[in-house]
């Protein structure tokens, strides 16, 4: 009997030790946060999702995904809520079935619905609360993002509601370079460069109030009515909501100055001449925007 008691005590002690070790280690799927500058992030390669904290701005985190479908499952639903809803009677997250139909109607897939994302912590809180309100079942990838925000102390759950503790932190996402797959397009280093730079511009807009104010003045005072309409039409063609200036201004600065990819943005796509597009870019630079972002990136010097 003594031997049995000892055996049981050892078994319980082992179970308790393992449980404590697992608790200390955290969930097996927890993300580690790595600090990195632009070039470190750009040239990093990994078969697992990496979360970067941008060394130039501690309020910018970047999810670096080893696959476009994984990125889409993690961010497409919240992006559709924050950037593309135009016909819903009130803001609400789509169910999985509704989102699938929405993406299919756009002739896209989870992989190529969007190639990068930018979501503020405050927007994630709205998304999670609305999902609970409407009983929208989140997928495992979205739950991992939610749990990451909880673990990092960016949000908390209080009396059945999520609250933003760091509402102005912005979460970006980008894909790893990859060859073409059966269900995913190819991502070259140049494409990754353009996606990262574009999303970093959004991070700057969200977290630098002086730069944000500059962009708003540029939109309202430097661009002509026709140029603003050209951007609205361009963004509408990509599925963006055009009902509020906030999203329009943010996307304008990111496409105009920080998207060195002719397939994504060009004078032809905007519906203006090359000379007019160059003039808009020159005007943006000459206004001396209060940012450390490089303003001549179209030459690709950051590669």
Checking if the pLDDT of 23 tops 90, the result is: no
For the chain, how big is the Rg over CA atoms in Å? 22
The structure's pTM equals 0.87
Confidence of residue 295 (pLDDT cuts 50, 70, 90): confident
Q: Kindly write down the DSSP assignment for every residue of 137-191, as one continuous string.
A: PPPHHHHHHHHHHHHTTSEEEETTEEEESSTT-EEEEEEPPB---SSS--B-HHH
Checking if the pLDDT of 21 tops 60, the result is: no
Confidence of residue 170 (pLDDT cuts 50, 70, 90): very high
CA 215 to chain centre: 20
3-state secondary structure (DSSP) of residue 120? strand
Which residues contact residue 203 at a Cβ distance below 8 angstroms, ignoring those fewer than 6 apart?
Answer: 54, 57, 59, 60, 118, 170, 172
Question: Domain limits of the chain?
Answer: 33-187, 208-299
Which residues contact residue 83 at a Cβ distance below 8 angstroms, ignoring those fewer than 6 apart?
Answer: 239, 240, 241, 247
Q: Which residue has the higher pLDDT, 70 or 242?
A: 70
For 206-259, the pLDDT digits (tens) are 999 999 999 999 999 999 999 999 999 999 998 898 888 999 999 999 999 999
Q: Which residue has the higher pLDDT, 13 or 111?
A: 111
Rounded Cα distance, 166 and 146, in Å = 14
* pLDDT score at 88: 83
Rounded Cα distance, 200 and 62, in Å = 9
Q: Are 78 and 93 in contact (CB under 8 A)?
A: yes
Please give the structure tokens belonging to residue 52: 């970067």
């Amino acid at each position: 009997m003594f031997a049995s008691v000892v055996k049981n005590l050892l078994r319980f002690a082992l179970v308790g030790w393992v449980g404590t070790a697992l608790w200390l280690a955290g969930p097996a799927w927890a993300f580690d946060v790595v600090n990195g500058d632009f070039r470190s992030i750009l040239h990093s390669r990994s078969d697992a999702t990496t979360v970067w904290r941008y060394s130039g701005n501690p309020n910018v985190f970047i999810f670096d995904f080893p696959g476009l479908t994984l990125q889409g499952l993690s961010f497409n639903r919240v992006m559709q809520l924050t950037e593309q809803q135009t016909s819903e009677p009130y803001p609400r997250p789509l169910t999985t079935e509704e989102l699938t139909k929405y993406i299919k109607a756009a002739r896209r897939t989870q992989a190529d619905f969007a190639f990068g994302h930018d979501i503020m912590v405050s927007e994630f809180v709205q998304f999670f609360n609305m999902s609970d309100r409407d009983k929208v079942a989140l997928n495992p990838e979205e739950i991992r993002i939610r749990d990451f925000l909880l673990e990092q102390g960016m949000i908390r759950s209080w009396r059945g509601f999520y609250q933003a503790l760091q509402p102005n932190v912005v979460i970006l996402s980008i894909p790893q370079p990859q060859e073409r797959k059966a269900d995913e397009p190819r991502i070259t280093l140049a494409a990754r460069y353009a996606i990262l730079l574009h999303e970093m511009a959004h991070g700057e807009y969200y977290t630098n109030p002086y730069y944000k104010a500059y962009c708003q003045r540029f939109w309202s005072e430097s661009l002509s009515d026709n140029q603003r309409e050209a951007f609205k039409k361009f963004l509408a063609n990509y599925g963006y909501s055009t009902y509020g200036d906030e999203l329009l201004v943010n996307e304008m600065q990111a496409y105009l100055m920080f998207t060195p990819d002719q397939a994504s943005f060009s004078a032809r796509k905007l519906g203006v001449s090359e000379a007019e597009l160059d003039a808009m870019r020159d005007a943006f630079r000459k206004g001396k925007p209060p940012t450390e972002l490089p303003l001549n990136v179209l030459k690709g010097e950051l590669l």
